[in-house]
Amino acid sequence: MSTTVEPSIDRYVRRYQSLKPGESSPLWNEQRQEIRDAIKGEDWPWLAALADRLRIETAPAFALVRNDALLALALVQRPEALDAFFSRAASPPPWERPRDRSGRVWPRRMAALLGYGQRVEMLERAVVERGADPALREILCGWVQESVSRGEPVQQSPVLRRYWAERTLDHHPLTELPLALLDIEAGAIKASPHSEDTLGNWYYFAHHLSSALQGESATLPEASVTDELALLDEERARAAGAFADSTLYPNGKWEARAFSLHERDINEGPRSVRSLPLACLEGAQPSDVRENIVSEQTAFGALWSLFTQGGAYSEGDSAAYARLYAWRSLGALCNVPVAGPLALVRDRAARAWFTTFGSQTSTWFDHVCIDVGLTCVRPEGRSMIVLAATDSD
> What is this structure's pTM?
0.92
Output the pLDDT for position 250. 78
Nearest to 329 by CA among 363, 376, 289, 294: 376
Q: What residue spans of 19-96 are helical by DSSP H?
A: 28-40, 44-57, 63-72, 79-89
Output the pLDDT for position 13. 87
Phi, psi of 360 (to 5 degrees): -80, -20
Give the C-alpha separation, 300 to 294, whole Å: 10
Sheet holding 225-229, edge to edge: 225-229, 252-261, 383-391, 370-377, 353-358, 290-294
Output the pLDDT for position 1. 46
Residues 6+ positions from 54 with CB-CB distance below 8 Å: 12, 13, 16, 62, 65, 66, 69
CATH fold of 211-391 reads Protein Transport Mog1p; Chain A (3.40.1000)
Residue ranges covered by each domain of the chain: 6-176, 211-391
Contact 309, 242 (CB under 8 A): no
Contact 188, 304 (CB under 8 A): yes
Give the C-alpha separation, 131 to 134, whole Å: 8
Output the pLDDT for position 22. 63
Output the pLDDT for position 25. 63
Contact 157, 120 (CB under 8 A): yes
Strand blocks (E) in the chain: 189-191, 203-205, 225-229, 252-261, 290-294, 353-358, 370-377, 383-391
Angle at 306 between CA 267 and CA 164, to 5 degrees: 95
Give the C-alpha separation, 314 to 32, whole Å: 24
- Give the H or E element holding residue 320: helix 319-333
Output the pLDDT for position 283. 92
What would the pLDDT profile of 12-47 be if each residue is shown by its tens digit? 888 888 887 666 666 677 888 889 899 999 999 999
Regions of the chain short of the pLDDT cut 70: 1-7, 21-27, 195-196, 198-200, 211-213, 311-317, 393
Nearest to 179 by CA among 163, 193, 194, 195: 163
Output the pLDDT for position 356. 95
Grouping H, G, I as helix, E, B as strand and the rest as coil, residue 185 is helix
Contact 300, 345 (CB under 8 A): no
Nearest to 45 by CA among 2, 90, 77: 2
Residues 6+ positions from 27 with CB-CB distance below 8 Å: 11, 12, 15, 16
Cα Rg, the chain, nearest whole Å:
23
Nearest to 201 by CA among 276, 109, 268: 109
- The number of helix segments (H) and strand segments (E) in the chain equals 13, 8
Output the pLDDT for position 212. 58
Output the pLDDT for position 112. 92
Residues 6+ positions from 123 with CB-CB distance below 8 Å: 114, 143, 144, 147, 152, 154, 160
